[in-house]
Amino acid sequence: MSDDKTTHFGYKQVPVAEKAGQVREVFDSVAPRYDVMNDLMSLGIHRLWKRQTVELAGVRRGQRVLDLAAGTGDLSERFAGIVGKEGEVVVTDINAAMLTRGRDRLVDAGVAGNVHYAQVDAEALPFPTDRFDCITIGFGLRNVTRKQRALEEMYRVLRPGGRALVLEFSHPESLLVRKAYDLYSFSVLPALGRLIVGDGHSYRYLAESIRMHPDQETLRTMMEQAGLERCDFFNLSGGIVAIHRGYKL
């Protein structure tokens, strides 16, 4: 962010007040084919990344889970099965189109009873302090305008002993991997977007937003500044993706 009035939207600087709307337009565009594109973009590996996130979350039966930027509900579905009818999973997204698609998908999968839905902004969570045992945000933090504020809100609504996990594209460890990843992100990815969704521009933004996202060590520091403790991270696929985890002690 260059100052308190502008922020980045991909590589561009835009007024802070306009970023959420521009991000919303991106996800309104990609929502209908979101799952198909995820499988194509990652060759299905995103399912393994999400499975690892669930394992690291350590959620148990009867607990309350908040899934921010839940998209089509991959993480939420797994958590709902773990916490059981005694527990609760709150499925959220700032984008109505994505939230509706996620709800429809979970209903079709027979997930009900212990799942609730809410359209929320991660920077201003409408939940009481010390509410949740676990909070996850998967591939969503990079689209948040004020990331530090979102992390602080996550800390606030965590109960003592709870943990927050951020699953996000990150910065590959190897120069060779970085170069190959750049070529894929800025050539193949927009082309897939044009072919499958009819929108290459949105996928170019997604590639740019990944490059503007804080690296692994910076994000760990941000989580610590938000109040989380014992923060660590786990690089997956050579650092293309990282899972960050922190606790409210």
Domain ranges of the chain: 44-169+218-247
pTM: 0.91
> What is the reported pLDDT for 2?
45
How high is the pLDDT of residue 1?
42
Distance CA 216, CA 191 (A): 28
3-class SS of residue 204: helix
| Cβ burial 124-152 (10 Å sphere, 16+ → b, else e) | ebebeeebbbbbbbbbbbbbbbbbeebbb
* CA distances to 46, 58, 79, 138, 177 from 51, in Å: 9, 12, 10, 12, 23
Mind listing the pLDDT tens digit of every residue in the chain (249 residues)? 445 689 988 888 989 988 888 887 878 887 777 777 788 788 899 999 999 999 999 999 999 999 999 999 999 999 999 999 999 999 999 999 999 999 999 999 999 999 999 999 999 999 999 999 999 999 999 999 999 999 999 999 999 999 999 999 999 999 999 999 999 999 988 888 888 878 888 888 888 999 999 999 999 999 999 999 999 999 999 999 999 999 999
Strand 64-68 to strand 132-138: parallel, antiparallel, or no bridges (unpaired)? parallel
Predicted pLDDT of residue 168: 97
Measured CA to CA, the distance from residue 225 to residue 229 in angstroms comes to 9
Q: What pLDDT was estimated at residue 10?
A: 87
Instruction: Please state the φ and ψ torsions of residue 128, each to the nearest 5 degrees.
Output: -70, 155
Domain 44-169+218-247 has CATH 3.40.50.150: yes
State residue 229 phi and psi, 5-degree precision: -125, 170
